[in-house]
Structure 1
Amino acid sequence: MLRGLYTAASGMFSLERRQETLANNLANAQTPGFKKDDTVLRAFPNLLIQRINDFNEMAKVSGPGAPPIPGYPVPIGDLYNGVYAQERIPSFTQGALVDTNNPLDIAIEDQEIPAQNVKGRQVKPNAFFAVQLPNGTVGYTRDGKFDLDANGNLVTADGYRVIGVDNKPVQINGSISKEDLRISPDGQIIAYSNEPSKTRNIGRIGIAVAQNPLDLRRLGDNVYQSANPLPLIQGNGTNPGVSLHQGSIEQSNVDLGQTMTDMMSTVRGYEANQKILGVYDQSLEKLYTVGRLDG
Structure 2
Amino acid sequence: MRALHTAATGMKAQELTVEVISNNIANMRTTGFKRQRAEFQDMIYENLRRAGTQNSQQGNLLPVGLAVGSGVKPAATARVMSQGNVLPTERDYDLAIRGEGFFRIQLPDGRTAFTRDGSFELNAEGQVVTVDGYQLDPAITVPNNARSVTISAAGVVQVTVPNQTAPQTVGNIQLARFVNKAGLESMGDNLYLETAASGQAQNATPGSEGLGSLLQKHLEQSNVTAVSEISDLIAAQRAYEMNARIISAADQMLQSTAQMMR
Are 1:181 and 1:193, in contact at CA under 8 Å, matched by a contact in 2? no
Q: How many residues align?
A: 257
List aligned pairs for 1:117-156, cutoff 5 A. 126-156=100-130
Q: 1:171 is matched with which residue: 116, 141, 162?
A: 141
User: What residue number does 1:88 align with?
Assistant: 77
Q: Deviations over 1:158-216 (max 9, x none)?
A: 3322112xxxx322233336xx1110001111001898525211101221111221231
1:101 CA displacement: 1.3
List aligned pairs for 1:142-291, cutoff 5 A. 142-164=116-138, 169-176=139-146, 180-192=148-160, 197=165, 199-227=167-195, 229-234=200-205, 238-291=208-261
Instruction: Name the amino acid aligned to 2:104.
Output: A
Structure 2: where are the runs of 5+ without partners?
A: none
1:144 CA displacement: 0.6
Question: Secondary structure of 1:102's partner?
Answer: coil
TM-score by length of 2: 0.88
Are 1:101 and 1:247, in contact at CA under 8 Å, matched by a contact in 2? yes
1:289 CA displacement: 4.6
Are 1:185 and 1:245, in contact at CA under 8 Å, matched by a contact in 2? yes
Tell me the distance in 2 between the aligned counterparts of 1:240 and 1:155: 25
Question: Secondary structure of 1:129's partner?
Answer: strand
Question: Secondary structure of 1:56's partner?
Answer: coil
The answer as to 2:32 corresponding to 1:33 is yes
User: What residue number does 2:57 align with?
Assistant: 56
Question: Secondary structure of 1:232's partner?
Answer: strand
Are 2:178 and 2:200, in contact at CA under 8 Å, matched by a contact in 1? no
1:284 CA displacement: 2.7
Are 1:46 and 1:79, in contact at CA under 8 Å, matched by a contact in 2? yes
Are 1:48 and 1:75, in contact at CA under 8 Å, matched by a contact in 2? no
Structure 1: where are the runs of 5+ without partners?
A: 62-72, 111-125
Tell me the distance in 1 between the aligned counterparts of 2:164 and 2:30: 37
Q: Deviations over 1:105-164 (max 9, x none)?
A: 100011xxxxxxxxxxxxxxx300001123220010001111112232212233322112
Tell me the distance in 2 between the aligned counterparts of 1:38 and 1:195: 54
Tell me the distance in 1 between the aligned counterparts of 2:57 and 2:214: 70
Are 2:93 and 2:216, in contact at CA under 8 Å, matched by a contact in 1? yes
Instruction: Name the amino acid aligned to 1:260.
Output: I
Question: Secondary structure of 2:4's partner?
Answer: helix
Tell me the distance in 2 between the aligned counterparts of 1:181 and 1:37: 36
Are 2:157 and 2:171, in contact at CA under 8 Å, matched by a contact in 1? yes
% identity of equivalent residues: 30
User: What residue number does 2:45 align with?
Assistant: 46
Instruction: Name the amino acid aligned to 2:89.
Output: T
1:77 CA displacement: 2.0
> Against the structure 1 CA distance between its residues 27 and 195, is the aligned structure 2 distance closer, same or farther, given a 3 Å change threshold?
farther
Tell me the distance in 2 between the aligned counterparts of 1:140 and 1:200: 27
Tell me the distance in 2 between the aligned counterparts of 1:195 and 1:37: 51
1:27 CA displacement: 0.7
Tell me the distance in 1 between the aligned counterparts of 2:153 and 2:163: 20
